[in-house]
Chains A and B, each alone.
Chain A
Amino acid sequence: MARDPVLELSGLSINFGALVAVSNMEMAVERGRITSVIGPNGAGKSTLFNLISGNLRPSAGQVILEGRRITGRPVNEISRLGLGRSFQITNLFFDLSVRDNLLVAAQVLEPWQRLLRKPSLSTAAQERAEALLAQFGLEAKADEWAGHLSHGEQRRLEIAVSLASGPKLLLLDEPTQGMAHEDTLETTQMIRRLAGDITILLIEHDVGLVMDVSDHVVVMHLGEKLAEGRPDEIRSNERVLDAYLGRA
C-alpha cells in the first residue's frame, strides 16, 4: 500500500436509484506516481472521478486529500486544496484565446486583489502560462481561439489548463481520447514527464498505454475494485484476465 498517499478513498460508494455505480472503493494514490484506473465501459471510472472532484456526493465513504477529508465539499474548494482534473469530453473556454485559457487557470493562485491588476503587468500567472504554452507545444497557437484548434491540440490544452491552476494531484480522464497515433505517443510521454513533481491519477481506455505509463494500476468492474497492483501483476492477474483483459 501507499506509504505517502496524496489521495485516499475509503468505502466510497454511490448509487443512482437502484444502480450501484461505485461500490465500497478502497484505494490510495502514492505521491509523485502515476496511478491508473482501468475497466470496461460502465465500470464506474468516470463516476469515481466525479466523486473525487466533488461533482457528485457519495452515498457513503470518504475522500481524503493530503490527509484532509474533502467528502461533500464544493468543487471549487476541492480544487483550491490542490486537485485538478481534465475531462473526457474537451472542456475548454472555446471563445477565449489559448493563452487566456491558461491565464484564467493560472491566475487563481494569486491573491484576490491581483484580480484588478493592470493587464500589462507581468505576473507569476503569466510566466506560468507561458511556460505551459512551451511545454505543450502551443506557443505558435497562443493567440488563436481555443475553439479553432485541432482536436489533438485541444486535448493537449485540456491537460495544460488542468495543470495551470497548480494542482498537487491531477486527475486525467482519458487524456488521449480521439487522438491520432503519434499524438497519443507524444502525450503519453508528456504525462510520464509530469509525474514526480505532481501526482497523477489516470483513467484510460487504452490498456496498452496504461501499462506503459503507470506505476500502479487499479482495475474496476461493475463499480467495484477487481484488482490492483503493478502493471505486470495486473497483466497476469487471473480475475482481471477473466473479467476484462481476456486471455491471449
Chain B
Amino acid sequence: MAESAMPGRRATERYGLSSLGKIALGGLAVALLFAVWAVAFDQSFYLRLATECLILGGLAMSVDLLLGYCGLLSLGHAMFFGVGAYLSGLILIHYTQSFWLACLLMLPAWTLLGLVGGLLALRSSGVYFALITFALAQVAAKAIFATNEIGIASAAGQVDLGGSDGFQGVPIIAIDFLFFQVDLRDPLGFFLFVLGAVVLTYLGLSWLLRTPFGRTLSAMRANERRLPHLGYAPRRFKLVAFTLSGVIASFYGALYPLLRGGAFPELLTFWVSGDAVISVIIGGTGTLVGPIVGTILLGFLRSLVGSELGEYHIIIVGVIFILAVIFFPRGLVGYLRSYLDARKQRKEDPSHGA
C-alpha cells in the first residue's frame, strides 16, 4: 500500500495542471515535432511505424485502465484488439466505407464482447482472472486460426476470414469530419488522426477517473474488501471498467486494418496481449501516458533491433522487461511524475523541501 503512495506527494491535486497532464502535453508536443520532422525529411516509413505504435498504445491504455486503476491484470486484451480488427476489416470490405457508420455498427459488438468477457473473467480474481482472460483470447485466436471459411450472412454473401492467413484487401478510406476529410493514404493524415484519437482517449479517461466513479475505482484498488461495507458491489464497477476497456481495445483494433490493409490471427495471440502489458509496466502503470510511451519504445526497439536480430529481439525485450520490473517498477512516466511532483512541492512550500 504505502509503496504506491508516493512519499512527499500530496494526495489531492490542489490547482493547475497535474504532473501527468504536463507529461501528456510534453508527449503531444514531441509527437507533433516528430510529425514535422518526418514530413520535412520525407520519412513516411517512420510515420507509419509511429502510427502503428499509437494504435497499439491505445490498446495498452485500455490495459492500463484495468491494471493501473482497478488492479486487474488482463492477459487477453488481444482478443478485443483482434476481433476489433477483423470486424472493421470485414465491414469495410463488404458493407460500408464510411468509418463512422462502421464504428456505429461495431460499437454494440465491442460492448457485448467486453461485457461477456468481463462476466466470465470477473467470476474470479487475481491470478485466476489473468488466466481466464488469457484462455479466452487463446480460444478466440484458435477459433479464427482454424476457420477457413465462416459463413456470415452479409450483404455481400459469404465472408472469408482467411483462416491462418487472415485476409487482405481492406480499402483505403478517407474519414469524413464535418469540415474536412482525412485521407488515410496520406501517412501524416493517418498519424494525426490516430494521435487525435489517443489524445481524446486520454482526456476522456482522465476525466472519468476524476469523477465519483473513478474515485470508487481507486478505492477498489486500494482496499476492495472495505467497499461492500459502504454499500458498493465492487464487481459491478469492475464489469463497467472491463467493458469500457474492451471497447477501447476493440476501437484501436478497428484502426489496424486501415493501416495494414488486413487482419491476421496473430493479432489475437498472446504476443499482442503480452506486449501491451509490458508496455504499460515499462511506461508506468496507472499513468495512462506511460502505456503510450512504453509502446513507442517497444515498437521502435523492435523495428530497429528486429531488423538486425530477427526473432531474437524478443530476448532483448524480455531482458528489458525483467530489468524494468526489478529496478523501475513505477515505469518511466511514474518516475518522471514523482520527480515533477517533488519539484512542484518544493516550489509551493520551500520550508518542507528535501
A-B contact pairs, 8 of them (CB 8 A): A80-B231, A94-B2, A94-B223, A116-B213, A119-B207, A143-B10, A164-B230, A165-B230
The residues of B that contact A118 with a CB separation of less than 8 Å are: 211
Minimum CB–CB distance from B238 to chain A (whole Å) comes to 14
A227 within 8 A of B: no
A143 touches B212 (CB 8 A): no
The residues of B that contact A107 with a CB separation of less than 8 Å are: 212, 215-216
The residues of A that contact B14 with a CB separation of less than 8 Å are: 143
B12 touches A99 (CB 8 A): yes
B271 within 8 A of A: no
Which B residues lie at the A interface, using CB under 8 A?
Answer: 1-2, 4-5, 10-12, 14, 207-208, 210-213, 215-216, 218-219, 222-223, 225-233
The residues of A that contact B219 with a CB separation of less than 8 Å are: 93, 96, 100-101, 104
Minimum CB–CB distance from B68 to chain A (whole Å) comes to 12
A93 touches B231 (CB 8 A): no
Which A7-54 residues sit within 8 Å CB-CB of chain B?
53-54
- Which are the 6 A-B pairs with shortest beta-carbon distances? A97-B11, A75-B228, A93-B222, A115-B213, A79-B231, A95-B5
Minimum CB–CB distance from A88 to chain B (whole Å) comes to 13
Which A residues lie at the B interface, using CB under 8 A?
Answer: 53-54, 74-76, 79-80, 84-85, 91-101, 103-105, 107-108, 110, 114-119, 125, 142-148, 161-162, 164-165
The A-B contact count (CB < 8 A) is 111
Q: A147-B5, A165-B230 are in contact. Are A103 and B225 (CB under 8 A)?
A: no
A85 touches B223 (CB 8 A): no
B226 touches A114 (CB 8 A): no
Minimum CB–CB distance from A87 to chain B (whole Å) comes to 8
A79 touches B230 (CB 8 A): yes
Minimum CB–CB distance from B284 to chain A (whole Å) comes to 16
Q: A117-B212, A147-B1 are in contact. Are A108 and B230 (CB under 8 A)?
A: yes
Minimum CB–CB distance from B275 to chain A (whole Å) comes to 28
- The residue of chain B having its C-beta at the shortest distance from the C-beta of A99 within the complex is B12
The residues of B that contact A142 with a CB separation of less than 8 Å are: 12
A164 to B231, CA, bound (A): 11
The residues of B that contact A162 with a CB separation of less than 8 Å are: 229
A187 to B105, CA, bound (A): 59
Minimum CB–CB distance from A42 to chain B (whole Å) comes to 23
A79 touches B228 (CB 8 A): yes
The residues of B that contact A115 with a CB separation of less than 8 Å are: 211-213, 216
Minimum CB–CB distance from A41 to chain B (whole Å) comes to 23
B231 touches A100 (CB 8 A): no
A63 to B95, CA, bound (A): 60
B11 touches A85 (CB 8 A): no
Residue in B207, B211, B222, B232 whose CB lies within 8 Å of A108? B232
Residue in A100, A164, A165 whose CB lies within 8 Å of B11? A100
The residues of B that contact A164 with a CB separation of less than 8 Å are: 230
A74 to B232, CA, bound (A): 10
The residues of B that contact A103 with a CB separation of less than 8 Å are: 212, 215
A246 to B167, CA, bound (A): 84
A148 touches B229 (CB 8 A): no
The residues of A that contact B211 with a CB separation of less than 8 Å are: 115-119
Residue in B2, B12, B212, B231 whose CB lies within 8 Å of A97? B12
The residues of A that contact B212 with a CB separation of less than 8 Å are: 103, 107, 110, 114-117, 119, 125
Q: Which of B2, B12, B212, B219 has the most CB of A within 10 A?
A: B212
